[in-house]
Amino acid sequence: MKNIAVILSGCGVYDGTEIHEAVLTLLAIEQAGAKYRCFAPNINQHHVINHLSGEVMAAEQRNVLIESARIARGDVEDLSELIVAEFDALIVPGGFGAAKNLSDFAINADSYTVNKQVLSACQGFANASKPAGYMCIAPAMVPIIYGSNVQATIGHDVGVAQSLTAAGLAHQNCAVDDIVVETQHKLVSTPAYMLATSLTEAASGINKLVAKVIDLTN
């Protein structure tokens, strides 16, 4: 049975993992006959957003690992404990947490970085030639993880695509129900909620991504 590592970035689209993307990913992994383990960095979130009003809750501070446990029903591990050799592939759902907590792309798009622990884990899969899937805004990390001129997609948002192209990504426009496959690096990406307007639309691309990532493990 294939074993997939899933990296989460908190809980909630505006300051953590996009919950629908995460749940659809875990469901697709199970339905494909594979298993997963969830991980998250044990760090503070960039900030906390009131998901009802959209306002920053300046006085509140939350931990990415603890918040990720909400999605994983408590079954989430510190990212420092991820051992690449124990897994066949990696998948990173999106949500602003990927661009605020795993990286700082949302804050510093012109010269953004990826959290060192996240970078080490993701590069571990890349260096071992193990498949990986990145969805929504998570492909923003691809140029830093894989280097320049590697193909991935965030959909067809012109402004975001331009920023990522400037960072070295070979961005490919992509419909919500499709995927971009970088065969050389066994890298799969899909727009998910960068374009999706419903669970069904999000699932259409996420299911393809999960299926392709698992296929590339063979």
Candidates 159, 218, 146, 158; CA nearest to 189 is 146
109 three-class SS: helix
Which among 11, 38, 122, 136 is annotated as catalytic? 136
Q: What is the DSSP letter of 59?
A: T
Q: How far is the C-alpha of 168 from the C-alpha of 49, rounded, in Å? A: 30
Which run of H or E residues covers position 166?
helix 158-166
Secondary structure of 68-97 as H, E, C letters:
HHHHCCCCEEEHHHCCHHHCCEEEECCCCH
Q: Where are the beta strands (DSSP E) in the chain?
A: 3-7, 35-40, 76-78, 89-92, 132-135, 150-152, 169-171, 180-182, 187-190
Which run of H or E residues covers position 154?
none
174 is catalytic: no
Which run of H or E residues covers position 206?
helix 199-215
Tokens matching residue 98: 């990927």
Residues catalogued as catalytic = 136
